[in-house]
Structure 1
Amino acid sequence: MIIERIREMNRKNIFLKIVLPAILVIILIFYFRAFFTKGVYFNNTFLVKSVVGAERHYMGKSKHGGIHITVKGLEDTHDSIEVVYRLPGNVNRQYTVMLNHENKWYPSIENIIDKDGNIIFEGEYKKGQQYMVDKNGKPLFSFDITALRNVDIAYDESYKVPLKNIAEFAFSETDTFRGEIHYLIYAIILFFVTWIDYKYPLFLFKLNYWLHVEDPKPSEFYLTMQKISYVVFPIIGIILMIAAIY
């Protein structure tokens, strides 16, 4: 009987010291791989970026269906860049972005042409510029409702791709990582505070009161809430980590 108990304790120790940490490491590897996936947010949907030669592909799936945006050409070496949108509802849009290389360090957009050869923008737009300027030098300000969170997008024949969005794809301006860094930072802070409080139960308590009370002692209520925080804080941290990639 004693031998069996010892074996059981050894099995538990192996799980706690080896198996559980190994599982945690594997989960974190997959998590951070997803967190640092390169891509772009388009209409509240994250599209994963892949590069094939001079083409950039952004692919993802929204609740309406698959989205595939292709950018053909490089801003540094080509005179034009083609941006193709394949959207849900069999909505396809194709644009040609004509570039100006007079300033070899900062190429700019002269005009944007749709698939029928119509010029839908004529003026100037430089990478990083907050707004587009038409041929008369007038700034073009447009409020893009699709940039708002939780706004339902209607993909039909009337759907119009914002001009600024076309320009941003041409210059890879909106490329980003999938994860929201501020959520991750909040989660790490919660995990760190919980670990410190668990490892040194009176450290945070004394740190809070040492200037006001000599040799402070925690109340029963404090100790109870402290134990509850050991469960609540990690749960909140996990929720924040999940929210960071969704």
Structure 2
Amino acid sequence: MERILLVEPDYKNKYPPIGLMKIASYHRGKEDYVEFYKGKAPYTMIAKFDRVYVTTLFTFYYEITVETIRHYLNYMHKDNVYVGGISATLLQKKYKKDLKIDNVIARQLTSSSLLGYDDAVNIDDLPLDYDILDDIKYEYPSGDNIFLYTTRGCPRGCEFCAVSKLEPRFKDTNSIINQINATREKYGDKRNILIMDNNVLYSKELDKVVRDLNAVGYINNTPNYIGV
């Protein structure tokens, strides 16, 4: 059993770290111990873990993110520190150069082999682990929602937008009914669904998406009704 520390730098953000929530599901599926920390954990805590995952968000948070990663590199061998997320994708070479580490992962975690494992699990398709949010005191303004994707990517390829680099292929995802029911069964119901798509309106399955949402209780004449 490995001991896994998930880290988000101590910046203000609206949404919880979706990528770390999926990594938590992966490791807990392997019966590893997983803990989430926001900011710089003390050495006495870091020393108890086998590897650290640090998420990144916007590029304008680069300095605080690098400072946070360096903190963990002071106490953990660089081969056991993994960096991923939006900023890491857009500035991958800069992170590697400035931090002198190799484990800076761009785009989505479509295979656990990117983390050095040989079970070839598509981590990006795993359900979110909402329990990690109980490990920290920080309250995300949009934290009390069921988060899901109905599509990934965007076919437009606009020059000003980073989506084509983050999610280069547009596709419909797995059943949202299964996503919602699995979350409700394990973590309880939440008032709202928060769809995290980049361009859901492009989906040819949009009518089905709305019907599926209505079918699981998000129906007309209710506060959380979703329609088109």
Larger Rg: 1
More strand by percentage: 1
TM-score (ref. length: structure 1): 0.25
TM-score (ref. length: structure 2): 0.27
